[in-house]
């Protein structure tokens, strides 16, 4: 009845791996706070769906699943472009990648979801930071320059 | 009629429970607190057991080499996924995501999708490099930020994700769990139906009409011959799915315009300066002012 080189059991292999990638991606998207890691988790959910589609394409013996996957890759590329542009704009506004700093976009009446008042301070590695030293060249700009280590927020 | 026997239910419950506790221990603390090394070790152990418990549901495919590659790619994908969502440093997250993408394109190859394997590697390699650039540009490289060291509701989030995983696995294995040898497959293969003579019934007749020759995967050929894979994909893409290609091209164009419109640098809007310095501009656009 079915293709003997790709029976139903092999299809369910692909479905299970795809489901696991999807569930883990959702877990990461829900729990992490860094915008870049959330973006990567969303991409991983797409990857799990792509595995499912390719398995179905092989099982049904036609190209439709692979064409769907090509469309999905294109949507993922568009999503990456827009998401990274949005991350860039959001970072320029508040100098942070923390998604919970944008909580004032939530619905009215909902409480704040994250409280980091009990966070321990991060212990930096003692000693001065060392960066490669470059000899300045060219014309000195007219405006006063700030050392770039101090500009980081 | 029960869909799953008690052994399957127990195994799925074990996957859900172990994955819940393990990933909760591996995720950052809710308020950014410090976790001991023992908590990480226990979490890694429990997550590894949960990943290994998924393996009994996978049927070993083909010969020895195919099994070896299938199991190693599956394990790498699952472990890379767990490590990606739990890594503190976003650079490490991007690296583990690369592992996930590479192993899933290996799985694409095993399922006979050569072009997609290559395409995924190419597209996602670019995406990962861009993400790397973003991490290096934006993230705080000295010291980990508070938002990397703390998670948002880790206990509830890992329970939700693991419950979704358990529901999906039980839904996937339920049609095949009560099947005996010789029973037909729970999902009919469209290609196998189309291969039947159309006189066999209305379903076969409709399927043979609906499936054009370009939309079918290449037949397995004689030993030594390789089927024209990319040519077949191109043929179906540009005959059966021509409108799809156009729409996708339009989508890319719109996304390009949107990204340029969003990311173009504008005058910064800071909450501390927006009221003081923007008064001349707002006076011209809104001369009456707010009543």
The predicted complex's ipTM stands at 0.84
Give the pTM: 0.82
User: Rounded to a whole number, what is the distance in Å from the CA of B288 to chain A's nearest CA?
Assistant: 29
- CATH number, domain containing residue A28: 1.10.287.3510
Do B32 and A15 lie within an 8 Å CB cutoff?
no
Mind listing the pLDDT tens digit for each residue in A56-81?
A: 998 988 888 999 999 999 999 999 88
Which chain A residue's Cα is nearest to B73?
A17
- Asked if the structure places residue A54 within a domain, the reply is yes
Contacts of A81 in chain B (CB under 8 A): 255-256, 258-259
Contacts of B111 in chain A (CB under 8 A): 6, 14, 54-55, 57-58
The per-residue DSSP string of B129-155 comes to: HHHHHHHHHHS--SS--HHHHB-SSHH
Region label for B107, one of left (φ > 0), alpha (ψ between -120 and 50) or beta (otherwise)? alpha
User: Rounded to a whole number, what is the distance in Å from the CA of B290 to chain A's nearest CA?
Assistant: 24
CATH 1.20.120.1200 is right for the domain spanning B8-173: yes
Alpha carbon distance B108, B120 (integer Å): 9
Mind listing the pLDDT tens digit for each residue in B33-56?
A: 778 889 999 999 999 999 999 998
Mind listing the pLDDT tens digit for each residue in B211-249?
A: 777 777 776 655 556 667 888 888 889 988 999 999 999
Specify the pLDDT at position B11. 92
What are the start and end residues of each CATH 1.20.120.1200 domain in chain B?
8-173
Do B186 and A96 lie within an 8 Å CB cutoff?
no
User: Rounded to a whole number, what is the distance in Å from the CA of B152 to chain A's nearest CA?
Assistant: 5
Domain that holds residue A27: 8-100
pLDDT surpasses 70 at A119: no
pLDDT category at A48 given cuts 50, 70, 90 is very high
- Closest residue to B252, CB basis, from A50, A64, A74: A74
Query: Please, are residues B28 and B148 in contact by the beta-carbon 8 Å criterion?
Result: yes
pLDDT category at A131 given cuts 50, 70, 90 is low
Specify the pLDDT at position A3. 64
Average pLDDT, chain A: 82
B64-86 helix and B90-110 helix, angle to the nearest 10 degrees: 160
For residue B57, give Cα distances in angstroms to B12, B24, B170, B206: 10, 24, 10, 35
Please state the domain count of chain A.
1
pLDDT surpasses 60 at B251: yes
């Amino acid at each position: 009845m079915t293709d003997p080189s790709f029976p139903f059991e092999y299809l369910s292999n692909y479905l299970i791996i795809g489901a696991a990638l999807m569930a883990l991606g959702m877990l990461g998207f829900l729990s992490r706070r860094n915008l870049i890691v959330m973006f990567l988790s969303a991409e991983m959910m797409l990857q799990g769906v792509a595995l499912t589609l390719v398995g179905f394409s092989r099982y049904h013996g036609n190209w439709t699943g692979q064409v769907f996957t090509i469309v999905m890759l294109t949507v993922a590329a568009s999503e990456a472009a827009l998401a990274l542009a949005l991350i860039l704009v959001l970072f320029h506004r508040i100098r942070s990648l923390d998604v919970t700093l944008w909580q004032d976009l939530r619905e009215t009446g909902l409480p704040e979801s994250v409280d980091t008042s009990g966070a321990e301070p991060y212990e930096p590695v003692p000693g001065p930071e060392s960066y490669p030293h470059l000899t300045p060249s060219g014309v000195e700009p007219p405006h006063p320059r700030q050392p770039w280590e101090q500009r980081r927020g | 009629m029960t869909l799953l026997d008690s052994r399957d239910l127990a195994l799925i419950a074990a996957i859900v429970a172990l994955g819940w506790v393990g990933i909760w221990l591996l995720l950052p603390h809710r308020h950014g607190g410090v976790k001991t090394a023992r908590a990480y070790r226990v979490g890694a152990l429990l997550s590894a057991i949960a990943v290994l418990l998924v393996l009994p549901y996978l049927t070993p495919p083909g010969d020895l080499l195919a099994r070896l590659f299938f199991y190693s790619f599956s394990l790498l994908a699952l472990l890379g996924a767990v490590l990606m969502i739990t890594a503190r440093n976003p650079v490490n997250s991007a690296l583990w995501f690369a592992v996930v993408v590479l192993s899933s394109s290996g799985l694409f190859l095993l399922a006979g999708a050569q072009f997609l394997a290559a395409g995924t590697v190419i597209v996602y390699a670019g995406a990962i490099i861009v993400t790397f650039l973003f991490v290096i540009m934006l993230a705080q490289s000295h010291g980990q930020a508070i938002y990397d060291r703390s998670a948002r509701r880790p206990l509830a989030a890992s329970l939700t994700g693991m419950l979704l995983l358990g529901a999906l696995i039980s839904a996937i294995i339920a049609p095949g769990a009560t099947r005996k040898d010789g029973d037909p497959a729970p999902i009919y293969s469209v290609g196998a139906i189309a291969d039947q003579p159309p006189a066999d019934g209305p379903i076969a007749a409709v399927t043979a009409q609906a499936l054009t020759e370009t939309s079918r995967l290449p037949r397995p050929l004689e030993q030594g011959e390789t089927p024209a894979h990319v040519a077949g994909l191109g043929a179906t893409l540009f005959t059966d799915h021509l409108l799809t290609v156009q729409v996708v091209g339009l989508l890319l164009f719109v996304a390009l315009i949107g990204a340029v419109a969003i990311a173009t640098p504008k005058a910064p809007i800071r909450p501390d300066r927006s009221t003081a310095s923007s008064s001349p501009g707002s006076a011209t656009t809104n001369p009456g002012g707010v009543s």
